[in-house]
Amino acid sequence: MAATTIPGQHVDIRLWARPEAVEDLAMRQLQNIAALPWAYKHVAVMPDVHYGKGATVGSVIAMRGAVSPAAVGVDIGCGMSAVRTSLTAADLPADLSRLRSRIEAKVPVGFGMHKDEAFGDRDGGGWADFWHRFDALTPLVRKESGRALKQMGTLGGGNHFIEVCLDEDGRVWLMLHSGSRGIGNLLAQHHIEVARGLAHNAALPDPDLAVFIADTPQMAAYRHDLYWAQEYARRNRAVMMRLVCDVVRREFPAVRFEDPISVHHNYVAEETHFGEEVLVTRKGAIRAGRGDLGIIPGSMGTGSYIVRGLGNPDSFESASHGAGRRMSRNKARKQFTPDDLAEQTAGVECRKDSGVVDEIPAAYKNIDDVIAEQSDLVEVVAKLKQVVCVKG
């Protein structure tokens, strides 16, 4: 669908969602973002848009010489990975509970962590240099080095998940969603507070939109920690995917795995748009440059999409990161029961208890509608439906 343009105070807002479907709180946030003097061209808003802390989830913000840490979010580098396997639906057993339990035994979820380091050369190189750079992070987190080591290769909770999926041709895919775990959260919270205290942010309409300015010590410190946390998140997904592949290989020794697809959807990138070098913040959005493969998940009972970017310049070459919530977690807990969850996740081997009711499919937008609303941003490569879903 074509984007709708809404005038803003400094730059316009370009919506790949129906304006009447955007909640009032989210629209006010978007107007606040569009009023920032550092905003460039326009704010691009994805069809999964919804209210978030500081910046709206599903927003793409380009800035000249500035960046807002709250516009990244507290889970720096959160994103998705997916791998297509040689298995087909016919290879899977009727009872998938053992496969789910073995994945849960291999990958710690929720607040869990590994007893020992779970990463190594099989997950890629550069580990020694990566951990050496930990000592150069803000001093606030240095005492967390042991925790960061043992959380490498762990899932977390909330909307993070590991899934076994089938595409429309019956091929088995492995997919997971996670970020930079506790260490990324600590770094984000620290820098958000630093930004709020800077004099140039005193008159902002929303203090959570406080920015760092180029060529300042605060900006340099943030970018250093930010890029490290984004790498942590990428490595975390790689370790988890290897662990999940190990489980699947144990169950199906002849299985083969294709190259993984991996994307961030809460991050900052230095990019060139409309002929200018800018800092692009995607909070709940993926890069969708021409030919880029991406992953757009739905909820735990509805399925997901593998997509290929069309490189639309008006979206800053971006697309949505998922279905997007249509109601808050608290509202979902009040409105739905475990019986509702069991009904809406029929056919999926997953938790169906009160601890994950806030992740019920009805709390999310319709993923098929979200994909249809961005037909000028991405093309569909594959549609997936989960048969196993692991949550913390």
By annotation, the residues acting in catalysis are: 321
Amino acid in the structure at residue 50 = H
Cα–Cα separations (whole angstroms), residue 335 to 262, 325, 332: 34, 14, 5
42 carries a ligand binding annotation = no
Pairing type for strands 79-88 and 378-391 reads unpaired
139 is in an annotated binding site: no
Q: For the CA atoms of 245, 248, 253, 257, what is the dihedral angle to 10 degrees?
A: -40
Distance of alpha carbon 127 from alpha carbon 183, whole angstroms: 17
H-only helix segments in the chain: 24-34, 97-106, 127-132, 145-151, 181-196, 217-251, 329-335, 338-344, 367-372
Question: 153 a known binding residue?
Answer: no
Q: Is 124 annotated as a binding residue?
A: no
3-state secondary structure 181-238: HHHHHHHHHHHHHHHHCCHHHCCCCCHHHCCEECCCHHHHHHHHHHHHHHHHHHHHHH
Structural contact between residues 282 and 60, judged by C-beta atoms closer than 8 angstroms: yes
User: Is 367 among the annotated ligand-binding positions?
Assistant: no
Instruction: Please work out, in degrees rounded to the nearest 5, the angle formed at the alpha carbon of residue 222 by the alpha carbons of 216 and 223.
Output: 90
Annotated ligand binding at 323? The verdict is yes
Residue 152 annotated as binding site: no
In angstroms, what CA-CA distances link 157 with 30, 46, 181, 332? Answer: 28, 24, 10, 16
Q: What is the four-CA torsion angle of 373, 376, 377, 381, rounded to 10 degrees?
A: 90
* Residue 321 marked ligand-binding: yes
Residues 6+ apart with CB under 8 A from 116: 150
Can you tell me whether residue 272 is helix, strand or coil? strand
- Tell me: is residue 360 an annotated ligand-binding position: no
Whether residue 86 is annotated as binding a ligand: the answer is no
391 is in an annotated binding site: yes
Any known ligand binding at 312? no
> For residue 110, what is the enclosing H or E element?
none
Select from 316, 154, 343, 348 the least CA-distant residue to 239.
Answer: 154
Tell me: is residue 224 an annotated ligand-binding position: no
Sign, CA dihedral 211-216-222-223, equals positive
Q: How far apart are CA 349 and CA 44, in angstroms?
A: 37
162 annotated binding-site participant: yes
- 185 among annotated binding-site residues: no
Measure the CA dihedral 340/341/344/346, to 10°: -110
Annotated binding site: 75, 159-163, 177, 265-266, 297-300, 304, 321-324, 391
Annotated binding site for Mn(2+): 75, 160, 177, 265
